[in-house]
Amino acid sequence: MTENCIELVDLTKKYGSFTAVDHLNLTIKKGEIFGLLGPNGAGKSTAILMMLGLTEPTSGSVRVCGIDSTRQPIEVKRKVGYLPEDVGFYDNRNGLENLIFTAQLNRMSAREAAQKAEQLLNRVGLSGEAKKKVGKYSRGMRQRLGLADVLIKNPEIIILDEPTLGIDPTGVRDFLELIVRLSREEGLTVLFSSHHLHQVQKVCDRVGLFVNDRLLAEGNIQTLSEKLFHNSPFIVEVGIAGAFRKKYTPDRLNKILKGIDGIIAVRTTDELIQIECSGDVTPDIARAVVESGAGLNYLNKKEYGLDDIYYHYFEGGKDHE
Ligand code: ADP
Ligand code: MG
C-alpha cells in the first residue's frame, strides 16, 4: 500500500475573523510531486506553514510522515526540507561556504560537510559557481542553491513555496526538471506552491487548486477540469447557414433540440448557437439539426481544459463560492 506522506484533515487557519485556510483536506502520497496551485492570497503559504508546524492551525489536523506537525514541530523539521519564498543566505560568502555552514548546523563534521556540499552543488548544477559569492547569484541560481540547502539533511519530503518566482523562463524549466529528476531518482515527495498553472501542470503528478482559502478540486489536470466544470463539461457550437436563419429562429431551434437528453442550456448569438451539455451529445445535436432541414454549416465541440481553468480562476479572479 502506498504510504501517505502528508495528510491534512479539515485544516483551518483564522486570523481573527479572517479565514486564511478553510477546512483543507488533502493527502499526498510518497514519491508524488504535488502542486498547490492558486492565485496570490489564496492561503498557500499559510497551509505550508501549518504543515511545517511553524504556525498553529485554528482547527483540524496535519500529519507529515505520520507526525503531528502541530504537536511535534521539531520532529517534522527533521524529515522535511523547506524552501521558503525568500531563502536567506550569506550573500558575502560563496555557495560552497553557505552549504557547508548549513551542513555543520546539521551536525556534520567539517570533512563530511564539505563532501556533502560539493556533492549537492554538483547535483543542482552549480559546481561551476561554487566559489562565487551568493550575492552575485541570479534568482535561478539562488533557488538551486536553496534546493541543495534543503537536501543536506536527506529529507523525505521537500516543500517549496513559490520556488519559480522571479526566475526567467529557461531557468524555470531547468529548475522544474531538476525537481522531477530528484524526486524520481531519490523517491522524494515534493509539494510546491505556485500561481503559475502552466508551469505546475508540466511537472506535477497531481495538483490542488486553491482559491479564496479553499481547495476547489484536486487531481491531474484532466480530472481537475472535469471536476470544476462537471455541470457542463461540453459546449457544442452550431452554425446555421445565413439563408436559413430567418426561418429557424432561436425559439424554433430550441424546440428542435429540446428532446435531446443532456442539454443544459442553449444560447444564441448572432453567429452561433451555443449548447451547454452534461455529456457529449454532439451526434444527437447534429442529427436533430440536419433532420430539421436547418442548413447546418458549422459544428464544434469545445471541452473545458487548462485554458478555461486558468481564465476562470486566475485571470478572471472571480469569487467562486
Ligand atoms: P498565498 O501564499 O496563497 O499567497 P497566504 O497564505 O500568504 O497566501 O495568505 C492568505 C491570506 O491570509 C492573505 O489574505 C493574507 O493577507 C492573510 N495572512 C497571511 N498571514 C497572515 C498573518 N500573519 N496575519 C493576518 N493575515 C495573514
Ligand atoms: Mg505565498
Q: Verify whether ligand 1 is closer than 6 Å to residue 257 (CB atom).
A: no
Q: Do both 27 and 106 map to the same domain?
A: yes
Q: Do both 242 and 155 map to the same domain?
A: no
pTM: 0.79
Q: Verify whether ligand 1 is closer than 6 Å to residue 45 (CB atom).
A: yes
Distance of alpha carbon 144 from alpha carbon 183, whole angstroms: 15
Q: Residue 256's domain is classified under what CATH number?
A: 3.30.70.920
Distance of alpha carbon 131 from alpha carbon 107, whole angstroms: 23
Of 225, 240, 269, which residue is a domain's last?
225
Nearest atom in ligand 1 to the alpha carbon of residue 15 is 25
Q: Do both 247 and 208 map to the same domain?
A: no
Among 54-58, 93-97, 101-105, 200-204, the range scoring the smallest mean pLDDT is: 200-204
Across all residues in the chain, what is the average pLDDT?
89
Q: Do both 199 and 139 map to the same domain?
A: yes
Does residue 235 sit within a domain? yes
Ligand nearest to the CA of 40: 1
Of 169, 192, 225, which residue is a domain's last?
225
Q: Do both 29 and 147 map to the same domain?
A: yes
Percent of the chain with pLDDT over 90: 61
Q: What is the pLDDT of residues 255-302, one digit of tens each?
A: 999 889 989 889 888 889 999 888 889 999 999 999 999 999 999 988
Q: Verify whether ligand 1 is closer than 6 Å to residue 46 (CB atom).
A: yes
Q: Do both 239 and 112 map to the same domain?
A: no
Q: What is the dihedral of CA 128, 132, 138, 139, to 10 degrees?
A: 100
Does residue 56 sit within a domain? yes
pLDDT tier at 316 (50, 70, 90 boundaries)?
Answer: low
Burial class (CB in 10 A: 0-12, 13-18, 19+), 36: buried
List Cα–Cα distances, 217 to 40, 47, 190, 241, 276, in angstroms. Answer: 17, 16, 19, 40, 21
Q: Do both 258 and 117 map to the same domain?
A: no
Q: Residue 158's domain is classified under what CATH number?
A: 3.40.50.300
DSSP category for residue 220: S
| Residue written as grid cell 504556525 | 55
- 3-state SS, residue 174: helix
Q: What is the pLDDT of residue 319?
A: 43
- 3-state SS, residue 153: coil
Nearest residue (by CA) to ligand 1, atom 6, is 43
Q: Do both 220 and 238 map to the same domain?
A: no
Does residue 107 sit within a domain? yes
Q: Do both 206 and 82 map to the same domain?
A: yes
13, β-bridge pairs: 21
Per-residue pLDDT, averaged over 58-81, amounts to 95
Domain that holds residue 244: 230-303
Q: Verify whether ligand 1 is closer than 6 Å to residue 41 (CB atom).
A: yes
Q: Ligand 1: which of 11, 46, 319 to mutate, judged by most atoms within 8 Å of the beta carbon?
A: 46
Does residue 212 sit within a domain? yes
Report how many domains make up the chain: 2
Q: Do both 80 and 188 map to the same domain?
A: yes
Per-residue pLDDT, averaged over 122-145, amounts to 94
